[in-house]
Amino acid sequence: MQKLSRLPILSARLEAVASLVKSCGRVFDIGTDHAFLPIELIRRGICRSATASDIRPGPITVARRNIARAGLSERIETVVTAGLAGHEVGPQDAVVLSGLGGLEMIDILSVLPKPCSQVILQPQKSAMELRLWLDANRYRIEREDLVLDRDRIYVIIRAVPDEPGPARSLQRPAMTLTEAVLGPDLLQRKPPLFDAYLQHVARHVQSASRRLPELAEVMAVIQEWLHSTAETERKEGGEP
């Protein structure tokens, strides 16, 4: 068995991404940069093998060095390509997209002929559009987490294949606009950082509501929750 050495320490953002990946056959890390994520996923036994892919040759050169230092050259292949072009993703595999825009992620995922076991997504922007696309394209958002890294809050999404055909419509309705903007799992669980996340999203919603009046209902949900939280904190602090 090869000895794993000189393993990189994941940033808080990548650690949160890694924590959402469930056991799978092969991980396709698209936009891998330095291959830190697939190295760590194999080290933890989350996947048996991985593909580290990037559109730029420079990061792939660095990725190959990191993979070799970790003793994983036989288990992680490196590919210079755009998105999922040239990749054969199987039903037991996982696709990870982090650090890209939501619209770019939609373009990449659109080429998959069939859903894989899971997609792990950390969009830099356009999370609403991404969630709506997932809901309309046979994916169900199973888990969402928030993480603070370098003074910025990131959202990470794990989506899995939805029930095919009529079974889906019997099990759950289509995603609402509020769920698309704020995240269905985040709304249900309200994890740590949820209040700070709502405050961040509120600024964008307030600005966008001038051209999209339907966002007013989302803004009302945000304001109601933040007001309720403030009232609870005031009472717990002993204020009248």
Distance CA 199, CA 5 (A): 42
Which pLDDT belongs to residue 1?
44
Which pLDDT belongs to residue 9?
84
Q: What tokens does 77 get?
A: 């292949």
Q: Which of 140, 172, 204 is the last residue of a domain?
A: 172
Q: What's the average model confidence in pLDDT over 84-89?
A: 95
**Which range, 20-29, 164-173, 210-219, has the best average confidence (pLDDT)?**
20-29
Q: Which of 122, 143, 172 is the last residue of a domain?
A: 172
- Indicate if 46 and 126 belong to the same structural domain: yes
Per-residue pLDDT at 144 exceeds 90: yes
Look up the domain containing 154 and give its range.
12-172
Task: Mark out the alpha helices in 123-173 (DSSP H runs).
Answer: 127-136, 166-171
Q: Is residue 227 part of a domain?
A: yes
Q: Which residue has the tokens 């405050």?
A: 199
Residues in the chain: 240
- Indicate if 117 and 45 belong to the same structural domain: yes
Amino acid at 105: M
What's the CATH code of the domain at 108? 3.40.50.150
- Indicate if 31 and 115 belong to the same structural domain: yes
Confirm if 121 and 130 have CB atoms less than 8 A apart. Answer: yes
- Indicate if 164 and 201 belong to the same structural domain: no
Nearest to 9 by CA among 70, 54, 57, 93: 70
Q: Tell me the whole-structure pTM to 2 decimals.
A: 0.91
pLDDT in tens, 54-65: 999 999 999 999
172: which DSSP letter? -
Which pLDDT belongs to residue 230?
84
Q: Is residue 5 part of a domain?
A: no
- Indicate if 52 and 130 belong to the same structural domain: yes
Domain count, the chain: 2
Percent of the chain with pLDDT over 70: 91
